[in-house]
Structure formats: structure tokens, C-alpha cells
């Protein structure tokens, strides 16, 4: 089976144009793939060991492209599937930063290796690396695909040893498009490189970087916290103010009450003073009265005058003592004044 027999120039290069006659009959490796059902359409099946080989090769050159060939078989069960069995390092290539060129020497070496180690296989594609510039097919890569690997089942694999990204390309409508392969895990996958870990850490760090959205969210949170704090402070201060105002009003009322009490006491004191004054005045009046009656030398009537002094509810004192004047004496028993005409007692009342 040659590439020429698979290339029908009248049809577009497309996995859908693979004919059963171009394939070997074989069972789909369901068990190896740990699948219960065969996925529909053309399938690309690759062993983990092959992926490891290509990656190990790629990691030997972290800044310049390297590449090689893929060998395997095109099979048919109900539909075609491509089983990639090995990769062969493309020695004697002209590798530089952005391209890889397979020389005649490269092809000689590849054919020798294939014949020696994988005699039952065909060259079914190629691989190369893109150290640090991602997974795609450049103009030169497309040129290689179109002129060297242009059978509808032939594939291309690109690997970036710096980012550990990888991609498979198959033919569809004469354009290489990406396709996810089915991997037979025949060996453990290669551990992630230190550089890959750095890349992952960098990616994580980039995620941590505050985006404007985060800033907006943080500002909103801060604003909400500020508003809540303000409301709480306002409520607390209002409560305190109300409490203090109430307390102050109460104290003011108490002060007013106390002032009133003091005033009342003062008034009472004044009244007492007035009463004292009245009493003093009365005492003076009585003394005066007493003095006026000092010259009355009557043992009989003298005692009666003394009785007048002891009466609390006094007291009618004559304006002027004369033989014709009357002295009104409060009668204790009847509580009304009784009259005694002094003229009737002329014999004891001395003449002026």
C-alpha cells in the first residue's frame, strides 16, 4: 500500500474518503482502550509509549524545533482507524528556532529504522516541536503536510516542550484540523517537567492577580461594610443621645423641683420670721402696756392685769389710760370680751 494509491486527486484530502480496500481488517482495540463501544467515524489511536518517545525527544531541545516520523497501520473494522505504533527520530534535520527540515539523510535514516524495527508498519505521519510558541501548523508545516503527508489517513503531531501543550491534526476537506486521539495506556505517562510546573505556577499566579472585576467586588463589599457600620454607629449614637437627653431632662426636672422646695422652705422661713417679728412686737406692746400700768398701785387689780398678759389670743389694749377709758379683757371661758368699767372701782384707781 503506497501513499500514491491512497491519494485520489479528484477528491479532497479527507479521512472520510478512506476506502476499506486501503485498510487492513482488524478489530478495534476496545479492550486496550478500556472502552465498551467503538466511537463513530475515523479514529486516531496512539500508544502512551509513542507519546512519551516524542516528548522525550522534544525535551532534548527546548529552544529549537526537532521532529521525526510516525509509523503504524491503517485498519478497518466497521470504519477506518489509524493505529500509531512508534515514532522515529528525524536525525540529520535542519532544525532552527521556528522550523524543521527533513533532509535526504533524514529520510534514509527513517527508512532504515522502520525496516529494522517496525517492518510491518507504514509511515503514517510526522511530528515536530514548537518550543514555546504553541500548537498550530505554520505555512511551512502546511507545505510539508500537503506535499509529503497528503494521504487522507496521514496525520501530524505538534508538541510544545515548554508549555507541555500538544495537538494532533487530521485531514478534513484538504485542511489539517485538530483531533483528539484515543490513547492506549501501555506505559505510565511521563512526569510533568519542571518548566511545566513553573508554567502552571505562573498560570496560578496570573489567576490570583486582581482583575477589575475583583476590585469592583471588593469595593462593593467595602461599601456595604461601610454602610452597615454607619447605620450601626448612627443607631448607637441616637440611642445614647436619647438616653442622655432623657436623663438630663429628668435631672433638670429634679433640679426645678428642688428649687421649688427651697423656695417653699424660704417662704416658710420668712413666715416664721414674720411670726417671730409679730411676737416680738406683741411682747414689746405688752411691756409698754405693762409699763403704763406700773403706776397703778392696786394689789387687787394688778393681778387681773397680769392675767391679760398670759392670754394668748390677745388683746384689746386701751389707746390711752384714763379714768374714763375702758379696758377690754378677753374672757377665757366665753372667748368674748367682757367689760369692766374702771369708774366703778374708783376707790382703788388713783386719780391723775
Binding footprint of Zn ion on the chain (CB under 5 A): 138, 141
Q: State the nearest-atom distance from the C-beta of 31 to Zn ion, in Å.
A: 35
Q: State the nearest-atom distance from the C-beta of 156 to Zn ion, in Å.
A: 9
CB 124 within 8 A of CB 157: no
C-alpha cell at 250: 429628668
95 or 318: CB nearest Zn ion: 95
113 or 141: CB nearest Zn ion: 141
Phi, psi of 283 (to 5 degrees): -60, -45
72 or 167: CB nearest Zn ion: 167
Q: Where are the beta strands (DSSP E) in the chain?
A: 24-25, 43-47, 67-76, 80-89, 94-95, 100-101, 122-129, 155-159, 166-172, 175-178, 182-184, 327-331, 336-340
Q: State the nearest-atom distance from the C-beta of 130 to Zn ion, in Å.
A: 6
Using CA atoms of 109, 110, 111, 114 in order, give the dihedral in degrees to the nearest 10: 120
138 or 195: CB nearest Zn ion: 138
Q: State the nearest-atom distance from the C-beta of 133 to Zn ion, in Å.
A: 9
Distance CA 306, CA 315 (A): 12
Q: State the nearest-atom distance from the C-beta of 65 to Zn ion, in Å.
A: 6
Long-range contacts of 89-92 (CB under 8 A, 24+ apart): 89/57, 90/66, 90/126, 90/128
64 or 321: CB nearest Zn ion: 64
Amino acid at each position: 500500500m503506497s501513499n500514491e494509491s491512497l491519494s485520489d486527486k479528484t477528491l479532497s484530502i479527507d479521512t472520510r474518503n478512506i476506502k476499506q480496500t486501503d485498510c487492513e481488517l482488524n478489530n478495534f482495540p476496545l479492550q486496550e482502550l478500556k472502552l465498551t463501544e467503538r466511537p463513530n467515524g475515523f479514529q486516531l489511536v496512539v500508544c502512551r509509549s509513542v507519546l512519551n518517545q516524542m516528548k522525550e525527544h522534544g525535551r532534548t531541545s527546548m529552544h529549537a524545533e526537532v521532529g521525526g516520523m510516525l509509523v503504524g497501520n491503517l485498519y478497518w473494522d466497521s470504519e477506518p482507524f489509524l493505529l500509531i505504533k512508534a515514532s522515529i527520530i528525524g536525525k540529520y534535520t535542519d532544525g532552527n528556532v521556528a522550523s524543521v527540515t527533513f533532509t535526504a539523510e533524514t529520510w534514509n535514516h527513517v527508512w532504515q529504522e522502520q525496516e529494522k524495527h517496525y517492518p510491518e508498519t507504514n509511515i503514517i505521519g510526522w511530528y515536530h516541536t514548537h518550543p514555546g510558541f504553541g500548537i498550530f501548523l505554520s505555512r511551512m508545516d502546511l507545505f510539508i503536510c500537503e506535499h509529503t503527508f497528503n494521504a487522507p489517513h496521514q496525520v501530524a503531531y505538534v508538541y510544545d516542550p515548554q508549555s507541555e501543550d500538544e495537538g494532533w491534526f487530521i485531514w478534513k476537506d484538504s485542511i489539517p484540523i485538530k483531533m483528539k486521539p484515543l490513547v492506549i495506556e501501555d506505559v505510565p505517562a511521563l512526569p510533568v517537567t519542571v518548566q511545566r510546573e513553573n508554567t502552571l505556577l505562573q498560570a496560578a499566579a496570573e489567576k490570583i492577580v486582581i482583575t477589575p472585576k475583583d476590585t469592583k467586588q471588593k469595593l462593593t463589599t467595602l461599601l456595604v461594610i461601610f454602610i452597615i457600620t454607619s447605620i450601626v454607629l448612627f443607631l448607637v449614637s441616637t440611642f445614647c443621645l436619647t438616653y442622655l437627653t432623657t436623663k438630663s431632662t429628668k435631672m433638670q426636672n429634679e433640679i426645678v423641683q428642688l428649687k421649688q422646695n427651697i423656695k417653699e422652705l424660704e417662704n416658710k422661713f420668712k413666715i416664721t420670721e414674720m411670726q417671730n417679728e409679730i411676737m416680738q412686737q406683741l411682747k414689746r406692746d405688752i411691756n409698754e402696756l405693762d409699763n403704763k400700768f406700773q403706776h397703778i398701785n392696786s394689789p387687787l387689780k394688778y393681778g387681773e392685769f397680769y392675767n391679760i398678759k398670759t392670754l394668748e389670743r390677745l388683746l384689746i389694749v386701751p389707746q390711752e389710760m384714763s379714768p374714763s377709758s375702758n379696758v377690754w379683757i378677753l374672757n377665757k371661758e366665753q372667748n368674748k370680751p367682757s367689760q369692766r368699767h374702771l369708774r366703778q372701782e374708783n376707790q382703788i384707781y388713783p386719780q391723775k
